[in-house]
Amino acid sequence: MAFVITAPCKEEKSGECVDVCPVDCIEEGKDMFYIDPAICIDCGACEAVCPVEAIYYEEDLIEEDEPYLQKAKEFFGQ
């Protein structure tokens, strides 16, 4: 399980999440930031600091946000 960055990040890309992640698993892509689901330890630190509430626990994703988990996997070559 992992946390997942969703659509609001595309408008914002503010990046606070990168600074608080204890395992450095958030990287900046062209259009948004991505969490590496293979490394994320589900600590929730990124979710707490995101100014646009773009980050959700995998199990709490609404249906329209589910493709963002797949996008993150593809970004990290998984």
Secondary structure of residue 12 in the 3-state scheme: helix
Q: How far is the CB of 62 from ligand SF4 (least distance, A)?
A: 18
Q: Would you mind telling me the total number of residues written for the chain in this entry?
A: 78
Q: How far apart are CA 22 and CA 59, in angstroms?
A: 21
Q: How far is the CB of 64 from ligand SF4 (least distance, A)?
A: 21
Q: How far is the CB of 39 from ligand SF4 (least distance, A)?
A: 7
Closer to ligand SF4 at the Cβ: 9 or 26? 26
Q: How far apart are CA 77 and CA 15, in angstroms?
A: 21
Chain residues in the site for ligand SF4 (CB under 6 A): 3, 20-21, 23, 25-26, 35, 40-46
